[in-house]
Amino acid sequence: VHSQSEYSDGYGNVKGTYSLLEADGSTRVVDYTADSYGFNAEVKKIDGGYKAPYSAPAPAYKAAPAYKPAYSAPAYSAPAYSAPAYAAPAYPAPAYSAPAYKPAPYKAY
């Protein structure tokens, strides 16, 4: 809440006053004069007897939530080993023939 009034005489001289209600419940009244001597203000504070209700501000700090890992360790089953299965080896028959005891026939050309 505030009020204001001002008067000017037309020769550059101004007189005025304004008041306002402060947050603590008091009223501030300012009477001022502006003339060839400059700007002069007289400030008065009138205690209104009203105390604004005070409530403590909410805390700005909030503790971080407890850490929870985003994954769990993979679960492994016991390894299962089996003996390798090999095919039985295949041996080829001998590539040579039994020795011949007689000479080959001679042919003249």
Q: Per-residue pLDDT tens for 66-75?
A: 888 888 888 8
- Domain assignment present for residue 96? The answer is no
Q: Exposed, middle or buried: residue 91 (CB in 10 Å: 0-12, 13-18, 19+)?
A: exposed
Return the higher-pLDDT residue of 52 and 31.
31
- Domain assignment present for residue 70? The answer is no
Average pLDDT, the chain: 85
* Domain interval for residue 18: 2-46
Which residues lie across from 27 on neighbouring strands?
21, 46
Predicted pLDDT at 49: 67
Q: Exposed, middle or buried: residue 108 (CB in 10 Å: 0-12, 13-18, 19+)?
A: exposed
- Domain assignment present for residue 69? The answer is no
DSSP class of 71: -
- Domain assignment present for residue 30? The answer is yes
Distance, in Å, from the CA atom of 15 to the CA atom of 6, rounded to the nearest integer, reads: 6
